[in-house]
Structure 1
């Protein structure tokens, strides 16, 4: 997170530019004091930019999935590609969404805090540039080596991921192409972490737009010649675009090399402006947490490989659509994570506590609204999105029923993503998130192995929901005593009320969905009905006061009443 500088520009315009354009150097942070743009206003702007681009990426992701379903259906070809897609899915979680962000955002935030101190003391070496110089070259070498290893070991990787897959040759060819994303995703995640710490959210939020554009373009051009291999080649091309779209902003914000102050002794420079260390002891807990979290997908693919052809595809499409509300709900936490990390670095634990409590409730509000929609309108959503070409009505019914089960675990997925960030916002390593995810993964494995025999894909989805909910409960109970002293009652009480409201909205949507025969129109009306019922129920349960302070609610009601009387 950048520090406040004496640029002479208005704080409001600076905040907006730092969010959207990425000026050279560290974008000044909106001050927290009186007489300046509050931090909250900047975060709202950044969240809006991030949410907008994330929504655009999600829409393109749906278009990508629609194209795959239309061209290849839900059969052996699509299953082979989805096995290969496990590599970029794992790489995305490890290198963009979880491990890289959880490691490097706090590291860059601490470096920026030290840079602020050095700026006013004696202008030592730039800690941010030192951090880049000491971490990026090693990361490139490591990621390139891992990518080459995956290309060579592709047959063993496929046999490990899907031992029951007939004719694995196609999956091996696709895996060799998707293995390149280990390098490109790692670099993209590193650039995203650096830019977010500098409060530049535009280009990091645009990476999935460029990624999906690359996949769609390559599939459209080459599917007639390469078949499903074109989708794998598109994944590789999309990964490269994720790097290229961020590189100019990164170079403007961070630059290359190091600056040395004239006349400052070397030992003094090292003490004042040294790089923030990213130690092995800090990396391993974050890496284990991310691996355990993403391993739920590996468990699902492994268990579904023994089911009839198409099972992996049904699980994939259901999960992709169901998790859209979770991804959008976490945009608040993505934007505020650098603020939490900077507050922890500055020793302002009370500010971090208030931010975390507010973020958890806001994220729960968003994800539960989406959960009610995807559960209530699952058949209509899947039919409108995918039922064309090789994707049949039978595939629609199978995918929709699985998606409804997945929807039960969306709150758990959201809370895991939101709760993990405060744990890794400090400079000291902690193993508790990895332990919590390990316990949840064990629940997923045991429950999935038992349930798949009786309920097939539904049992796999139910085990996923049970495992991630277990991890979320452990993280919530462990956060207050270990990292940030949150008050559990301020989180559990409103989230419980929001869950009741989501159940009521889901029931209303489930009952109303079949009344409109056209699936697209039915789903569109559901996007109005379900949120309306949810908000009304939230207001009746007084859970709205948790999200909007009571004074603001009373003022809003008073203004609306006065306007209504004047209108009459």
Structure 2
């Protein structure tokens, strides 16, 4: 059976078309002549549904591109932030103390922005928006905000105050081997204030994404890193590394400010009913019951606990080990962050499809997103492994960050990159479990299993190989979790084809291995770091796509250039002048708008 083009799959998944809602008309048998252009009752007629599907697909593509672009800007600013830290504070005990305090914003961002908050609130707002046109009880969206936002603010404000008060105990638990815990305590008290601002930022992000507004949420890390960088440059002389901790607090406030005006406009977009609205029936409010949100929170906490294990295992190691792990992780995770942008944009689409009972549309959307995310992350991981020393030298080797720090960080970064595909699959697959109204405990159990593997392997490997062994344990644990989530996904609300997806991922991984070898040979043969990184990246991309498209004959890549060609002006004019149409070739995307091949 043939595969649909990328444009058809994107449009069909975005609109949630199914055989019941948009039956595919049978085409002529193989070898039969096509009707003449412009003639016959089989001539193509552009329906409103197909036009809407094309428009929706283009919107998702534009949203993904804008989100990826702003995320890339935020990631670059994050690298600039890390460069400033490395330049002024190096990779010694002072930076280690700050990075222990950095655990608080890392934990808070995962729990309150990236994972738990989004996985709970995006489906809730999506269902409220789906009920909005037919609601007889007032505006479900505003009712959801009234029911959730005040309680959230009170809860996270109390947690923030508790962290400030218990900072000494927290530092002692996170890193018992620090030589100067007082500095870490001061930094932790400053970073603890971000819990409230991150919660508000995550709430705004989830609500805006459900409304189809992706620009402000994508800009939050730009604002965040600008706040940290500016604060370090202004306050580093009198306060030292504490200025970086204060920058976390400033950046958190900026994250809220870049989103709040857009959310207020969205909430005011529907006129307030003249009469007093009746109470909204219990529906989304059930999401706030502990039994409903607990699986998501436990999953997010368990996932982020990998960093706690790393910091705990690295604290007895020689000074700088925590810093080497941190710098390596920040660079190595950039491909994963970019690869998940399409999943972030399409998450509300999947949630709405499931709210409408259209599991088939959600399946098509999720399967394509998983493969495209794997393509991006494997290309990035191959480049990282191939040119890690040159990347670290180019980014960090200046000031207090010397050649020995470069070598140690590059070794850790290469091992971290082995787990990037697992990190991406976990981030993408978990949406299959949490898109529906009833989150499940299986993802949390899978994450706990992976965390146990990380801890056991890390305890052994840290004694043998130091920070490199800790990075290897991280890669092992997250891969175990990814495999468990993949094997269990077909039983969930989005019944993906696990066998077909697994075969595609295996082909892509093989291509990544070949591309890594080719890129490494080029990076070794070229001297200047900037040239070596650029050439290695180009070679990796070329070899990867060539292997997948030609040698492995994987179906994940060919639809992409065909889709790009169909977007050119010449192709659009040709399509507009051709009224006849061949039958649809994609049985898994029953669209009434097939394209001639």
Give the one of 367, 389, 400 matched to 2:399: 389
Which residue does 2:176 correspond to in 1? 163
Which residue does 1:133 correspond to in 2? 146
Structure 1 position 222 matched with structure 2 position 238: no
Once the two structures are TM-superposed, the CA of residue 551 in structure 1 deviates from its matched residue by 11
2:549–2:558: 8 Å Cα contact kept in structure 1? no
1:207–1:245: 8 Å Cα contact kept in structure 2? yes
| Deviations 1:76-96, CA, capped at 9 Å, x for gaps | 010000000000000000000
Once the two structures are TM-superposed, the CA of residue 262 in structure 1 deviates from its matched residue by 3.0
Q: Provide the aligned length of Structure 1 versus Structure 2.
A: 523
Once the two structures are TM-superposed, the CA of residue 347 in structure 1 deviates from its matched residue by 0.2
| Deviations 1:374-412, CA, capped at 9 Å, x for gaps | 000000000000000000000000000010000100000
Structure 1 position 423 matched with structure 2 position 433: yes
Which residue does 1:188 correspond to in 2? 201
**Matched residues in 2 for 1:473 and 1:537: separation?**
24
Structure 1 position 116 matched with structure 2 position 133: yes
1:114–1:272: 8 Å Cα contact kept in structure 2? no
Which residue does 1:5 correspond to in 2? none
- Higher normalized helix content (fraction of residues): 1
**Matched residues in 2 for 1:158 and 1:287: separation?**
23
Once the two structures are TM-superposed, the CA of residue 174 in structure 1 deviates from its matched residue by 0.3
Structure 1 position 284 matched with structure 2 position 294: yes
Which residue does 1:44 correspond to in 2? 61
Which residue does 1:408 correspond to in 2? 418
Query: Which SS does the other structure have where 1:35 is aligned?
Result: helix
- Gap regions ≥5 residues in structure 1: 1-11, 16-30, 561-568
Once the two structures are TM-superposed, the CA of residue 111 in structure 1 deviates from its matched residue by 0.6
| Deviations 1:281-315, CA, capped at 9 Å, x for gaps | 12110000000000000000000001000000000
1:443–1:467: 8 Å Cα contact kept in structure 2? yes
Which residue does 2:51 correspond to in 1? 35
**Matched residues in 2 for 1:152 and 1:257: separation?**
43
Once the two structures are TM-superposed, the CA of residue 527 in structure 1 deviates from its matched residue by 2.3
Once the two structures are TM-superposed, the CA of residue 164 in structure 1 deviates from its matched residue by 0.8
Once the two structures are TM-superposed, the CA of residue 543 in structure 1 deviates from its matched residue by 4.8
Once the two structures are TM-superposed, the CA of residue 544 in structure 1 deviates from its matched residue by 4.8
1:292–1:441: 8 Å Cα contact kept in structure 2? yes
Give the one of 172, 177, 201 matched to 2:214: 201
Once the two structures are TM-superposed, the CA of residue 49 in structure 1 deviates from its matched residue by 0.6
Which residue does 2:472 correspond to in 1? 462
1:88–1:179: 8 Å Cα contact kept in structure 2? yes
Which residue does 1:563 correspond to in 2? none
Q: Which has the higher contact order (CA 8 A, sep 6+)?
A: 2
Structure 1 position 104 matched with structure 2 position 114: no
| Deviations 1:239-262, CA, capped at 9 Å, x for gaps | 110001101001001249994453
Query: Which SS does the other structure have where 2:378 is aligned?
Result: helix
Which residue does 1:174 correspond to in 2? 187
What TM-score does the superposition give when structure 2 sets the normalisation length? 0.84
2:416–2:471: 8 Å Cα contact kept in structure 1? yes
Structure 1 position 339 matched with structure 2 position 340: no
**Matched residues in 2 for 1:553 and 1:149: separation?**
53
- Gap regions ≥5 residues in structure 2: 1-10, 15-46, 572-597
**Matched residues in 2 for 1:275 and 1:167: separation?**
46
Which residue does 2:502 correspond to in 1? 492
Runs of 4+ with deviation above 6 angstroms: 553-556
**Matched residues in 2 for 1:259 and 1:273: separation?**
21
**Matched residues in 2 for 1:491 and 1:428: separation?**
25
What TM-score does the superposition give when structure 1 sets the normalisation length? 0.89
Which residue does 2:245 correspond to in 1? 232
Query: Which SS does the other structure have where 2:51 is aligned?
Result: coil
Query: Which SS does the other structure have where 1:64 is aligned?
Result: helix
Once the two structures are TM-superposed, the CA of residue 516 in structure 1 deviates from its matched residue by 1.7
**Matched residues in 2 for 1:200 and 1:516: separation?**
44
Once the two structures are TM-superposed, the CA of residue 511 in structure 1 deviates from its matched residue by 1.2
Which residue does 2:85 correspond to in 1? 68
Q: 1:218 to 1:539 in 2, by over 3 A?
A: same
Q: 1:223-372 alignment to 2 at 5 Å?
A: 223-255=236-268, 259-260=272-273, 262=275, 266=278, 270-271=280-281, 277-372=287-382
Once the two structures are TM-superposed, the CA of residue 482 in structure 1 deviates from its matched residue by 2.2
Once the two structures are TM-superposed, the CA of residue 274 in structure 1 deviates from its matched residue by 7.8
Greater gyration radius: 2
Which residue does 1:446 correspond to in 2? 456
Which residue does 1:19 correspond to in 2? none
